[in-house]
Structure 1
Amino acid sequence: MTLGTEPTSNGGFRTGRFMYFAEGDRWEWSDELARIHGYESAAAVSLSTELLLRHKHPDDRARVADLIHRVRFGREPFSGKHRIVDVNGAIVQVIVVADTMTDGDAVIGTSGYYISLDEPPLIGDVDEIFDRRMLIEQAKGVIRFIYQLDDQRAFDLLVWRSQETNTKIRDLASALCDAFSTVTPSSETRARFDHLLLTAHEACGPDD
């Protein structure tokens, strides 16, 4: 089983694929993931858990080591947010989105994507991307998720708080999104969402 090549960027961020096989403690990287770590290609690096941990930021290393232990012996997916240090010493923030790999009913490892957060967006300026409407839509999404409301009910709730507090709806939406970003989901919630993110396409019909 091998990993295909990845595009150099995806929606403004570099991404790279990986697979981890618990039996044998074995990793595989795509070329793009190797480049995120500062290598020319995956063939240029001898992968091991020890090497992987050496690339983690010192403040994140113990936490990632504990996660890898749970991945190997508890068969959890390898996912989360941390910092890596590439071969040139540059610090790169990454999100790892992963799901378990199975062989029949047995979990044999985990696979997914590293997403570099330190790349500039491809389209326009950040202020243009996160404009007034986008902030309101993000806030509505938070309310819909937490309270299990439909789109209109979520907007009504946001308008109610705007009127009750005499706060512009855009400012309220911005404050809500900023505050929500500090809420850390449980590992169970994160694992379930990783699975949904990586399998949602299976519920979509073929392109017209």
Structure 2
Amino acid sequence: MEWSDGMFGIHGLSHGDVVPTFELFMAHKHPLDREPVRALWVNLLDGGGQGALLHRVIDVRGRERRVFSAVQAAAEPSGQVEYVHGFMVDVTQSLRIESQHAASDAIEGVYGHKALIEQAKGIVMALRSVSAPAAFQVLSTRSQHANVKLHIVAEELVNAAANGKAQEVLAGY
């Protein structure tokens, strides 16, 4: 087995630190990813083919890295695998950034429109003389019946109120 400098780096090693072996390769897999990685190799060594997998590597310092591996096993006409080659890309930082964006979007979705929804609730409470929970129910029901997000319903009502047309819009609820 031969490793590139990049492969050594992903494992927290430098070229020449160790002799790369399949056992070493597997020992650095996250325990929950060892079976899928092993299954991919077993499949490829049984007649060749291609495969790819997103999995985790634990480097020599104990840091977890998310990696994408693509592997090709070239087989002779007899089906005997002649060689296997592939590459591994560390996608840890890319996935971390993507996760942070997704979390920010989720938080924005939950809390970002809260002030707008509260303002719309206040308008409903004032115009219909109802409690806060009842006002929220009015907005929620409109959201469900119109099949639009709650903050869109709230924005529509707040904009209508700014133009003196809240009563008309609310009449449609």
Is the radius of gyration larger for structure 1 or structure 2? Answer: 2
Q: Which has the higher helix share?
A: 2
* Higher RCO (C-alpha 8 Å, min separation 6): 1
